[in-house]
Amino acid sequence: MKRRELLAASTALALVMAAGGEASAWSLEEAAAPYKGTTIKALFLDRPGYRAAIEILPEFEEKTGIDVTWEILPYENSRERQVLDFTGGTQEFDVILIDVVWIGEFADSGWVVPMEEFYNDPKLADPDLNLEGFFPILLESFGTWDGKVYGLPFDNYSGLLFYNKCQLEEAGFDGPPETWQQLLEEYGPELTKPEENRYAFALQSRRGETQSADSFMRMLWPFGGSLLDENFRSNLLSPESQAGLEFRQELMKYMPPGIVDYDHSEAVNALAQGRVAMITEWSAFYGTLTDPAQSKIVDCLAVAPEPKGPAGLKPALGGFSLGVSAFSDPEKQAAAWLFIQWVTSEAKARDYILAGGVSGRMKPYEDPEIKSKYLYVEPMVLSWQGGVPDFRPRFPEWPAISEIIAEWGTKMMLGEVTTEEGAKEIGTRMEAILEQAGYYSGQKKLLK
């Protein structure tokens, strides 16, 4: 959504509220009264943001009488379960988890309800909803599709550079690398000591979304590359994209062996155990790295924005919004909306952060206490000022393309194919998918 449209939407909302004349009288308890006793079900992941929500949601249940249940699934199965729920007519989930790369598919297929149905309803809309209070990049990238809001940012990630400042100091660096080039040329050789089983950097690259999003795409943008050009043709053979992919190959000599089997947990663990000095990981792992039970480097941990490339700061962007299932009964939909509105609200943002979540609201991060308590806040807010909303294309075809990238991206890293050969393979296969989807014949808008 363009910022202007967003402004228009929220102005309209304000007018509706004012016209209703009940704005001041709105309360969650009253709004929820007709739905007392309703049970709604959400799909959650086993990550800090969800544990935070689970911790704070009894308050919502108490206030509303709405019973919130959830099922925790591994990320790799969560889309499958929801898609089968939508297409199989099982009506299992009411609160839908929308990854940034699923929004196009879910919205396009009509599986989630446009939020305007709720925020234009004065009975359901909290006058303090304030859509503009979300970081615009978050609301746009995982809340909005084709100008309409479908989800409110809930579990929000920016790629950050987590590093072990003690190790860096020992090696004679008084700060983290500012650019990828520095990381490769200066930090890499100094911090890599294979005989001591220590490495400068780990880039989680396991086959799956981890390879395609966290490893492959992360190296394209900072070097000025991208997956697609403006006509949706592959841009992977462009000199910039190739430079990024070549860079990744070069950087591998400073990564632990077997990096292609590293998922998030392995990368985070490698830093937490002092085996690697730096990782670029999602902000959400801050909690793990500062937990003394899981991390040996609590006192040495420092956080910075991801290194810049020739194209500037283009950190990984990811996250999940919560939406309402189009297949649920109307009262469950309303109850689900009330829950989503509450859990992502400005009023609850502080509690959510203190419970370990990362809120998508701007306001709580102005709080000096929050700023000083959580080292990730400043670099993250900085990263969200810029960044690329379509860091990964958000159209429905992404999951299929992601599979192709995951396969050929790991083959590249293993040296089974060159970056050029791999890029060609991905390009051909990806264009076949986009062709079939109707992007080249003009049947489908070029939205990503």
Partner 1 sequence: MARGRRERWAPLAFIAPAVITLLAVGLYPLILAVITSFRQYLVTKPRAPRDFVGFDNYATVLTDPTFWESLGRTFEFLLLVLPIELALGLGIALLLHKPGLGLLRTLTRVSLVIPLATTFAVVGLVGRLIFNREFGVINWFLSLLGLPPVEWLGQPATAFAAVAIMDIWQWTPFVALVLLAGLTMVPPEIEEAARLETKSPWKILRHIQLPYLLPGITAVLILRTADILKLFDLVFVMTRGGPGSATELISVYIQRIGFRVFDQGIASAQAILLLILTIILSRLYIRLVYREVEA
Site track 33-72 with partner 1 (rule: CB under 8 A), x = hit: ----------------------------------------
Rounded CA-CA distance 194/102 in Å is 40
Structural tokens at position 444 = 């489908």
Candidates 204-212, 232-240, 283-291, 327-335 — which segment interacts with partner 1 by CB under 8 A?
Answer: 204-212
User: CA-based angle 380:386:388, to the nearest 5?
Assistant: 105
Residue 128 in the binding site for partner 1 (CB under 8 A)? no
Among 85, 105, 240, 306, binds partner 1 (CB under 8 A): 105
- Beta strands of 23-151 (E only): which ranges? 39-45, 67-73, 95-99, 144-145, 148-149
Residue 155 in the binding site for partner 1 (CB under 8 A)? no
How far apart are CB 80 and partner 1 at their closest, in Å? 5
For residue 175, CA distances in Å to 161, 179, 387 come to 12, 12, 22
Among 260, 279, 349, 380, binds partner 1 (CB under 8 A): 260
State the distance between the two ends of the chain, measured CA to CA, in whole angstroms: 12
Residue 410 in the binding site for partner 1 (CB under 8 A)? yes
Between 273 and 372, CB nearer to partner 1:
273
132 exposure class (CB count in 10 Å sphere: 0-12, 13-18, 19+): middle
Among 11, 69, 90, 109, binds partner 1 (CB under 8 A): 109
Per-residue b or e along 213-233, where b marks 16 or more CB atoms closer than 10 Å to that residue's CB = bbbbbbbbbbbbbbbbeeebe
Site track 417-446 with partner 1 (rule: CB under 8 A), x = hit: ------------------------------
Among 185, 261, 291, 329, binds partner 1 (CB under 8 A): 261
Residue 394 in the binding site for partner 1 (CB under 8 A)? no
Residue 323 in the binding site for partner 1 (CB under 8 A)? no
Q: Which of 210, 193, 192, 211 has the alpha carbon at shortest distance from 201?
A: 192
Among 128, 169, 229, 416, binds partner 1 (CB under 8 A): 416
How far apart are CB 194 and partner 1 at their closest, in Å? 10
Instruction: State the chain's maximal CA–CA distance in angstroms.
Output: 72
How far apart are CB 7 and partner 1 at their closest, in Å? 32
Among 275, 363, 371, 444, binds partner 1 (CB under 8 A): 275
CB < 8 Å & 24+ apart, contacts of 328-332? 328/40, 328/91, 328/94, 329/91, 331/34, 331/35, 331/38, 332/38, 332/39, 332/40, 332/94
Candidates 32-40, 82-90, 132-140, 165-173 — which segment interacts with partner 1 by CB under 8 A?
Answer: 82-90
Contacting residues for 417 by C-beta, under 8 A, at least 6 apart: 408, 411, 425
How far apart are CB 440 and partner 1 at their closest, in Å? 17
Alpha helices in 314-362 (DSSP H): 330-343, 346-354
Q: How far is CA 365 from the centre of its chain?
A: 18
Site track 328-357 with partner 1 (rule: CB under 8 A), x = hit: ------------------------------
Residue 208 in the binding site for partner 1 (CB under 8 A)? yes
Candidates 114-122, 157-165, 353-361, 408-416 — which segment interacts with partner 1 by CB under 8 A?
Answer: 408-416
Candidates 27-35, 148-156, 242-250, 394-402 — which segment interacts with partner 1 by CB under 8 A?
Answer: 394-402
Residue 411 in the binding site for partner 1 (CB under 8 A)? yes
State phi, psi for 312 to the nearest 5 degrees: 100, -160
How far apart are CB 261 and partner 1 at their closest, in Å? 4
Rounded CA-CA distance 260/205 in Å is 5
Among 186, 381, 399, 447, binds partner 1 (CB under 8 A): 399
What are the helix and strand counts (H, E) for the chain?
21, 10
SS3 state at 306: coil
Residue 80 in the binding site for partner 1 (CB under 8 A)? yes
Between 189 and 257, CB nearer to partner 1:
257
Q: Which amino acid is at 339?
A: F
**Enclosing H/E stretch for 319:** strand 317-324
Question: Which residues contribute to the site for partner 1 (CB under 8 A)?
Answer: 76, 80, 83-84, 87, 105, 109-110, 206-208, 211, 256-262, 273, 275, 396, 399-400, 403, 406-407, 410-411, 413-414, 416
